[in-house]
Amino acid sequence: MSHEPVIALAGNPNSGKTSIFNALTGARQHVANYPGITVEIKEGGSRAGGVGVKVVDLPGAYSLTPYSPDEVAARDYLLEQRPDVVIHVVDASSLERNLYLTTQLMELGVPVIIALNMIDIAEMRGIRIDSAELSSILGVPVIRTVGNRGTGTDALLEKAVAVAGSETSWVPIDLSYGTSSDRALAILERMIVNCGLLADVAPPRWLALRLLEQDSHTIDRVERLDTDGSREILDTAGKLAEQVFREMNDETEGVIADHRYGFVAGVVKRVRTCPVENRLYFSDRIDRFLTNPVLGPVVMAAVLFGLFQFTFMISRAPISWVESLFGWLHVVAWDLLPRGFIRSMVVSGAIDGVGGVVGFVPLIMFMFFFISILEDTGYMARIAFLMDRIFRKFGLHGSSIVPFIVSGGITGGCAVPGIMAARTLRDTRERFATILSVPFMNCGAKLPVYALLIGAFFSSNEGTVLFGLTILSWTFAMLSAKLLRSTVLRGESTSFVLELPPYRLPSIRSLLIHMWERTWLYLRKAGTVILLASVIMWGLMTFPALPEELAEGLSGNQLAQASLSHSIAGRAGRIMENATRPLMGFDWKVDVALIGGFAAKEIVVSTLGTAYSMSEVEGGGSVSLSEKLATEEGWNPVMALALIVFTMLYIPCIATIAVIKRETGSWGWAGFAILYTTGVAAVMATLVYQAGTLIT
């Protein structure tokens, strides 16, 4: 083969496709960008028999007749990129549902290999599948795998490389869809061949199928050609679809789907044997308790509470080690560098700024690790199921649970992919309400701010406080959604169906890969965006320099404070302080940090680290930022709680605003998000501070 083989992984959601991808590629993976595709697609590298291959993890899809952006992205990738072979990951315990997509892949003609995955779960349920017979009937290789253990993945990769190396041409299968449909397909296929319609994109029969099904995406693609032949084919397809409907009393899409399912049922009957008795499987037994309307929420709350408590407990020591490291770097740099702007920039701008953020990497690592356990075991889907009842009361669709969880429903997510996940919502009002509410969730960027202030003022109850903040963020987001759905986005909620995957034991390798992926993104952000922002904020807090006449008579910390106050950032903060000090208790240093937080919420911590480092003249202290704030004049638990609430709710970061604009298609909604979130933050932080001050 003259080029690097490309292997695409396709499969239904919850089929174990990601586990197969991780087993094949390990840590050699990244997010790929393809023209016209906005849904996330991962790529990774692997080797088999000395041959390097590219492995592409397509979004989960139930069908190639797309209903969601994920399914559109998966189908468009196959048509536009034409991989050498497709590994279809099939859940062996749900053969009928999964083989429907196999049938569509074979209709397209792409070379297919079936990974009969989670075969251990199927056999535990008493299901036996004759993989050799399945391979013989379908005419494609079938490999038995257990993705989360890596069982069978080596053989799977070797077979994929062999198929790719043989340069097998795309040969669509020729299924029968009933007399009426077959007659219509023959007419359309003949017209497509004569016209040469999209000959370089898709096989004629597959294209005829899509047009007869009245697939809107295919029709749009053909309409854009705007030729006499394409218009004639579209007109004929519409008339033939109407004719099939009159003859069969059903839409053509339903007629064709019925025949596909009939074909699949015949295959499954020949290759699968099941126990006769109606068993209650292991996952179903557990779900009797975990999804119970009364017990389920109690267990969920206990699991999440325990997660936060345990995370803080085991991360306390590693955090202190990292803080000690940066304290040592502070002292060394202060002693080695000559007095002046360079020393100030390196120590206060870079080391103390970035150190305040990087210090919380252990906490974030453990948080991501435990979240991955919830995802890989299948319990995260149960959380979504339990939350659906609540979501509907606030005017949201049950599928909104995914964007909320991805955005930080369990502290540590990110609003950017959370907002993108809202694409699965078909109703525009539900989608916009979700997009405008998910920034209130506790994303991973807010976690360093919480950890800093909790460590300074609530250190005796760290896990409890973070659990409470999670509940608080959900409350604000739900109330926000209710407000939006009752005013600017009024309308009825649509129906919701959720698939609950079977419970599985996650593999340590998969958990470590997920943890490292997310932690590395955080570290890369700390080493680039946050470092640059910290140095910029240092410059704004350094220049212009304090004139000699104003510095006269000042020394030590008084001089440092006066210089900081005279800077550009200091002047802006002083102006803002006139409003924020009486309302929320924030001094000008906090105000400057909150301005920097618009770029990324972690910069709130790095800017505070820079500000309090620059306000001291001694370079030998290795006191952590939390310890500084705990003893700083003007700081107290009430003010810290008000700052936490403001950080939780105020203006999303630049990246989130850009995604809101892209997903809503309007700068108006992006501007509304800025004003709306910041207004809510100001009101709630003021209430917290004023009420707390009265009480204490």
- Note whether 14 and 141 are same-domain residues: yes
Output the CA–CA distances (angstroms, integers) from residue 403 to 109, 260, 438, in the order listed: 34, 33, 7
Band (398; pLDDT cuts 50, 70, 90): low
Do 213 and 157 lie in a common domain?
no
Distance CA 533, CA 349 (A): 9
Tell me the chain's radius of gyration from C-alpha atoms.
29
Tell me whether the omega of the peptide bond preceding residue 637 falls within 30 degrees of 0, making it cis: no
Same domain, 100 and 194: no
Single residue among 134, 165, 196 that ends a domain in this structure: 165
Q: Mean pLDDT across the stretch 36-59?
A: 79
Q: 137 and 246 share a domain?
A: no
Tens-digit pLDDT profile for residues 529-555: 677 777 787 787 778 877 877 777 666
Q: Is the domain of 33 the same as that of 155? A: yes
200 domain residue, yes or no: yes
Q: How far apart are alpha carbons 596 and 536 in whole angstroms? A: 10
Kindly give, in sequence order, each residue whose CB lies less than 8 Å from that of residue 531, ignoring residues fewer than 6 positions away: 350, 353, 354
In this structure, the answer to whether residues 131 and 243 fall within a common structural domain is: no
Regarding whether 188 and 47 lie in a shared domain, the answer is no
CA dihedral 388, 389, 391, 396 (to 10 degrees): 80
pLDDT at 600 over 70: yes
Question: Residue 123 has what pLDDT?
Answer: 86
Residue among 14, 197, 9, 19 at smallest CA distance from 105? 9
Q: pLDDT-based confidence at 132, cuts 50/70/90?
A: very high
Tell me which residue range forms the domain holding 252: 179-256
Do the beta carbons of residue 589 and residue 561 sit within 8 Å? no
Q: Among residues 476, 534, 498, which one has the least CA distance to residue 688?
A: 476
Q: What is the dihedral of CA 346, 350, 352, 353, to 10 degrees?
A: 150
Is residue 130 domain-shared with residue 220, that is, in the same domain? no
Q: How many domains does the structure of the chain reveal? A: 2
Domain for residue 229, yes or no? Answer: yes
Contacts of 247 (CB under 8 A, 6+ apart): 180
Q: Which of 165, 195, 219 is the last residue of a domain?
A: 165
Q: In whole angstroms, what is the distance from residue 648 CA to residue 685 CA?
A: 10
Q: Distance between CA 645 and CA 118 in Å, rounded?
A: 44
Tell me the pTM.
0.63
Q: Which of 215, 232, 256 is the endpoint of a domain? A: 256
190 and 142 in one domain? no
Retrieve residue 288's tokens: 């009797």
Both 109 and 220 in a single domain?
no
Q: Are residues 48 and 90 in the same domain?
A: yes
Instruction: Say which CATH number the domain at 227 has.
Output: 1.10.287
Q: HSE-up of 100 (CA within 13 Å, CB side)? A: 17
Cβ atoms 478, 389 nearer than 8 A: no
**What's the burial of 432, exposed, middle or buried (CB within 10 Å: 0-12/13-18/19+)?**
buried
Q: Which residues pair with 86 in a beta bridge?
A: 8, 112
Q: What is the residue-averaged pLDDT of the chain?
A: 82
The verdict on residue 27 lying in a domain is yes
CB within 8 Å of 295: residues ≥ 6 apart: 289
Q: Residue 400 and residue 393: Cα distance in Å, rounded?
A: 13
Q: CATH number, domain at 157?
A: 3.40.50.300
C-alpha 605/C-alpha 622 separation (Å) is 17
Q: Is 289 part of any domain?
A: no
pLDDT over threshold 70, residue 509: yes
pLDDT tens-digit map of 148-177: 888 999 999 999 999 988 877 788 888 888
Domain assignment of residue 90, yes or no: yes
In a domain, 106, yes or no: yes
pLDDT (tens digit, 9 = 90+) per residue, 77-96? 888 888 999 999 999 988 88
In DSSP notation, 83-139 reads -SEEEEEEEGGGHHHHHHHHHHHHHHT--EEEEEE-HHHHHHTT-EE-HHHHHHHHT
Place of tokens 């007869």: 212
Same domain, 59 and 110: yes
Quick: pLDDT tens for 58-84. Answer: 988 888 876 667 778 888 888 888 899
Domain-embedded: residue 14:
yes
**What phi and psi values does residue 641 have, to the nearest 5 degrees?**
-65, -40
Assess if residue 243 is contained within a domain.
yes
